[in-house]
């Protein structure tokens, strides 16, 4: 139990002062509530000693008023501090995950399910926020309240006070056993919930594929199994919890019965005054109320522990920008020196070396799986090389901070991702400080201005998740405008022209020319038009350079490049036989 509290407060360390204030206010609130003992004593004394009702009633009213008003004020102050600590702490952690993800190697995302990261930043944080109030606060308050009221009982009679405290101690011993059981089951339950998030995301995102292959029934079975497994784990958790909760309630009930019997016996033996005996018997039903409520929630403490551990797991992910410095390179020459790289156990690049001079265009071609995209990703430092080095302007990429490195690079991908935001904000993603006129100028150079102006809200049109409300060619031009606005000196085109439709081809080609003019360009391309103009062409196969040179030289030599050009030429000259 104490471990769970320690982890939670460590999780909230940025706002630990708020938690401390909240707990102090909770203790003061319990003291105000304990004034009810005094009000009961005044009332019973007036009844038993036949004192004037008026003065006794006034005293009871004043004491209860102080108790209620003081407890209410303290509850408000405590609740405010706890709310600030809880929500602000999760805000800090969410921002931390988002900030950290910018510096994680892309391999981290490949090896982790989307549901894990999504859960850590969303549902996990939401549950932690709820637990802060429903579990951490209520369990602490329950313990504090029971101990404070037990000490009050101890003041009136040490034997009765010890019985009260014994009930609390035995309750906590049983609860510690329950916590151990919960600590074993909580990670399994959390894993089932994360799997449900992952399955739900996969089901929604893959709906077009599911429908096109008429696999709705099979997909439903898969997600239904995940839902059923989540339900089984939740029920299993409740089955473990219920017997212990019942035993805890029995212990508190027996302790209350012990207080009543002991009070009666001590009174008849002349040890305890009637007023004190009656007061302690009535107070029996006050001492354990909040502890009983807390008992229903103690079981969730290990779940809070597991949730926090899930967030920490993302926070322990490797970073690629540990010792980097802000470097402004004197030139933009790129050099790969004996670079080797593997995706887990599969070797992709093997002692690869190449030079890309500043201001030149380099086309990388070759069979699928040869390592073309990997080279581009390593230059952008989405991953780190296993062996060898990559240098920009004579500096190893690892010497750069990622921000200073990527300030020199813009990438345009084959599969364009647009955010669920306005066209303008998607373009400004390349330069958040840019004004509207800058955005318009970038869109014009990307040949996107006309289609944007034709949209219902122009530049303020929301494009939907992943840009689903505009065509692929239009998305591509928006991404080019984004890269133009960033104005980086190095442009990486990862098969950006692979899926260009004829209607958009001319606009896209002009947009690419505007984007790449006067810059260092690295392109992965299969289109003859884009390849033949390159200053150098590098042919990759099985992670190694098998050919290198200009188009006119390579096309005359036997090899992969000549075969590539021949196949493209046959494709271009292919016509439909229209004879009847």
pLDDT digits (tens, 9 = 90+) for 39-56: 877 887 787 777 777 777
Q: Are 160 and 261 in contact (CB under 8 A)?
A: no
What DSSP character marks residue 414? S
Mean pLDDT of 356-363: 90
Domain residues for the domain of 21 are 2-315
Give pLDDT tens digits for 360-385.
Answer: 989 898 888 888 888 988 998 888 88
Give pLDDT tens digits for 263-314.
Answer: 899 888 888 888 888 877 877 777 777 777 777 777 677 777 777 877 887 7
Residue 139 has pLDDT above 50, yes or no: yes
Asked, for residue 187, whether it belongs to a domain, the answer is yes
Asked, for residue 215, whether it belongs to a domain, the answer is yes
Asked, for residue 423, whether it belongs to a domain, the answer is no
Residue 578 has pLDDT above 50, yes or no: no
Residue 400 has pLDDT above 80, yes or no: yes
Asked, for residue 358, whether it belongs to a domain, the answer is no
Asked, for residue 373, whether it belongs to a domain, the answer is no
pLDDT of residue 390: 93
Phi, psi of 190 (to 5 degrees): -65, -40
pLDDT tier at 245 (50, 70, 90 boundaries)? confident
CA atoms 556, 558, 564, 569: torsion sign: positive
Q: CA 85 to CA 79: how far, in whole Å? A: 10
Mean pLDDT of 80-100: 84
Q: CA 129 to CA 135: how far, in whole Å? A: 10
Q: CA 67 to CA 107: how far, in whole Å? A: 59
| More confident call, 509 vs 107 | 509
pLDDT of residue 76: 92
Mean pLDDT of 103-131: 70
Residue 398 has pLDDT above 80, yes or no: yes
| More confident call, 275 vs 386 | 386
pLDDT of residue 391: 94
pLDDT of residue 357: 92
Residue 519 has pLDDT above 70, yes or no: yes
**Model pTM score:** 0.65
pLDDT of residue 579: 45
Instruction: Report strand pairing: 536-541 vs 361-365.
Output: parallel
The top-scoring range by mean pLDDT among 194-208, 307-321, 407-421 is: 407-421
Asked, for residue 205, whether it belongs to a domain, the answer is yes
% of residues, the chain, pLDDT over 70:
84
CA atoms 11, 13, 14, 19: torsion sign: positive
Q: What angle do CA 426, 432, 437 make, to 5 degrees?
A: 80
Asked, for residue 113, whether it belongs to a domain, the answer is yes
Q: CA 536 to CA 553: how far, in whole Å? A: 10
CB atoms within 10 A of CB 310: 22
* CATH at residue 244: 1.20.1560.10
pLDDT of residue 312: 80
Average pLDDT, the chain: 80
Mean pLDDT of 422-445: 88
Give pLDDT tens digits for 413-427.
Answer: 777 778 888 889 988
Instruction: Report strand pairing: 334-343 vs 346-356.
Output: antiparallel
pLDDT of residue 175: 78
Q: At 65, list the tokens.
A: 């008023």
Residue 112 has pLDDT above 80, yes or no: no
Q: At 414, list the tokens.
A: 């084959």
pLDDT of residue 576: 45
pLDDT of residue 356: 92
- Please state the domain count of the chain: 1
Q: Are 156 and 280 in contact (CB under 8 A)?
A: yes
Mean pLDDT of 433-439: 90
Phi, psi of 547 (to 5 degrees): -150, 150
| More confident call, 183 vs 57 | 57
Residue 194 has pLDDT above 50, yes or no: yes
Residue 230's alpha-carbon distances to 101, 307, 330, in angstroms, are 28, 16, 57
Phi, psi of 45 (to 5 degrees): -65, -40
Residue 517 has pLDDT above 90, yes or no: no
| Cross-sheet strand order for the sheet of 395-396 | 346-356, 334-343, 387-392, 395-396
pLDDT tier at 498 (50, 70, 90 boundaries)? low
Mean pLDDT of 52-72: 87
Asked, for residue 85, whether it belongs to a domain, the answer is yes
Q: Are 312 and 116 in contact (CB under 8 A)?
A: no
308 contact partners, CB below 8 Å, separation of at least 6 = 7, 8, 11, 128
Give pLDDT tens digits for 332-353.
Answer: 999 999 999 988 778 889 899 9
Residue 213 has pLDDT above 60, yes or no: no
pLDDT of residue 580: 41
pLDDT tier at 158 (50, 70, 90 boundaries)? confident
Residue 209 has pLDDT above 60, yes or no: no
Cα atoms in the 13 Å half-sphere on the side-chain side of 267 = 15
Q: What angle do CA 129, 132, 137 make, to 5 degrees?
A: 160
pLDDT of residue 420: 82
């Amino acid at each position: 139990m104490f471990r769970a509290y320690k982890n939670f407060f460590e999780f909230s360390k940025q706002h630990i002062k708020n938690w401390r204030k909240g707990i102090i206010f909770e203790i003061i609130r319990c003291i105000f509530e304990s004034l009810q003992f005094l009000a009961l004593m005044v009332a019973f004394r007036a009844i038993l000693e036949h004192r004037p009702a008026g003065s006794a009633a006034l005293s009871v009213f004043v004491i209860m008023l102080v108790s209620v008003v003081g407890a209410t004020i303290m509850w408000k102050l405590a609740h405010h501090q706890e709310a600030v600590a809880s929500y602000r702490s999760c805000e800090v952690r969410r921002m931390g995950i988002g900030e950290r993800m910018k510096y994680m190697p892309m391999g981290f995302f490949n090896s982790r399910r989307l549901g894990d990261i999504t859960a850590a930043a969303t549902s996990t944080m939401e549950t932690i926020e709820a637990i802060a109030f429903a579990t951490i606060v209520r369990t602490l308050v329950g313990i504090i309240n029971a101990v404070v009221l037990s000490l009050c009982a101890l003041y009136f009679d040490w034997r009765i006070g010890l019985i009260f405290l014994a009930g609390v101690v035995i309750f906590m011993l049983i609860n510690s056993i329950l916590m151990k059981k919960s600590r074993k089951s909580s990670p399994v339950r959390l894993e089932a919930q994360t799997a449900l998030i992952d399955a739900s995301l996969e089901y929604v995102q893959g709906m077009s594929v599911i429908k096109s292959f008429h696999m709705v029934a099979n997909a439903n079975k898969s997600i239904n199994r995940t839902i059923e497994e989540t339900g089984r784990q939740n029920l299993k958790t409740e089955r473990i919890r219920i017997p212990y909760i019942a035993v805890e309630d029995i212990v508190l009930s027996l302790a209350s019965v012990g207080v009543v019997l002991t009070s009666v016996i001590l009174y008849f033996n002349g040890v305890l005054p009637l007023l004190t005996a009656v007061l302690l018997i009535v107070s029996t039903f006050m001492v354990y109320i909040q502890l009983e409520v807390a008992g229903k929630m103690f079981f969730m403490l290990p779940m809070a522990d597991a949730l926090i551990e899930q967030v920490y797991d993302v926070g322990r992910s490797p970073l690629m920008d540990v010792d980097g410095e802000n470097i402004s390179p004197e030139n933009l020459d790129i050099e790969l020196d004996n670079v080797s790289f593997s995706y887990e156990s599969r070797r992709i690049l093997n002692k690869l070396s190449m030079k890309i001079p500043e201001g030149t265009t380099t086309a990388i071609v070759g069979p699928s799986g040869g390592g073309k995209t990997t080279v581009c990703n390593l230059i952008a430092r989405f991953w780190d090389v296993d062996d060898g080095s990559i240098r920009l302007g004579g500096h190893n990429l690892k010497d750069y901070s990622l921000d200073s490195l990527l300030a020199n690079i813009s990438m345009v991908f084959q599969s364009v991702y647009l955010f669920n935001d306005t066209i303008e904000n998607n373009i400004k993603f390349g330069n958040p400080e840019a004004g509207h006129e800058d955005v318009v100028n970038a869109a014009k150079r990307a040949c996107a201005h006309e289609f944007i102006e034709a949209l219902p809200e122009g530049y303020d049109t929301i494009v939907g998740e992943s840009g689903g409300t505009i065509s692929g060619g239009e998305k591509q031009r928006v991404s080019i405008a984004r890269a133009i606005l960033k104005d980086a000196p190095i442009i990486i085109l990862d098969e950006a022209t692979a899926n260009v439709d004829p209607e958009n081809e001319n606009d896209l080609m002009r947009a690419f020319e505007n984007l790449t003019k006067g810059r260092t360009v690295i392109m992965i391309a299969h289109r003859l038009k884009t390849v033949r103009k390159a200053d150098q062409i590098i042919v990759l196969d099985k992670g190694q350079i098998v050919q290198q040179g200009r188009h006119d030289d390579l096309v005359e030599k036997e090899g992969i490049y000549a075969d590539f050009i021949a196949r493209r030429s046959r494709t271009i000259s292919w016509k439909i036989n229209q004879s009847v």
